Amino acid sequence: MNNKYFTFLIIISILVVCSISSCKTDNKQAVVPQVEQTKQGIAVPRADENFVRNLYNQVDQIDYIYTTFDFSMSISEPSAIKGNIATLSGLSIGTIPVDCKPVGRQMFMSKGEMLAEADLYFTQGCQFLVFMEKEKPASGSMFNQTGIDFYNQVFAQAQGVNQ
């Protein structure tokens, strides 16, 4: 009886570990854009269109943590998610100026799995999103006018709440 119980626990443990790690291996070699550090800042390549399109089609939740204000938010409404991802203009950031600092972080989720993380830059002259891989800039995009208007509204509301 004790031996059967032990075997049962081992099988359950393996299943739990497999479900946590998804028991899958991905042998695809990812093309990693080259990021270059210069005296002017970090040169970041433009976010790949296919990468952004996949986010647009797969993300079912976006979590936001704002570091300049003491708040966070989450959206799970499909039209709001698509609208948020559509605020990326596809224009290259070029080099992140050394005086630009992120004001928050966005996590793009699908079925509970994080597909991408990005640092949000939104100060004068710094209005873009930088996708991170292993806590290092990987690619990014400037915001279009809709994105600029959206974040202006978010931060205006946050300032009103914090006063």
Dist. CA 77–CA 83, nearest whole Å = 10
Cβ contact 154:147 at 8 Å: no
**Residue 65 located in a structural domain:** yes
Mean pLDDT calculated for residue range 10-26 = 32
**Residue 18 located in a structural domain:** no
User: Which range of residues forms the domain containing residue 122?
Assistant: 34-162
**Residue 51 located in a structural domain:** yes
More confident residue, 162 or 137: 137
**Residue 73 located in a structural domain:** yes
Prediction pTM value: 0.73
More confident residue, 145 or 6: 145
- The domain total for the chain is 1
**Residue 13 located in a structural domain:** no
**Residue 9 located in a structural domain:** no
CATH code, domain with 149: 2.60.40
**Residue 147 located in a structural domain:** yes
**Residue 145 located in a structural domain:** yes
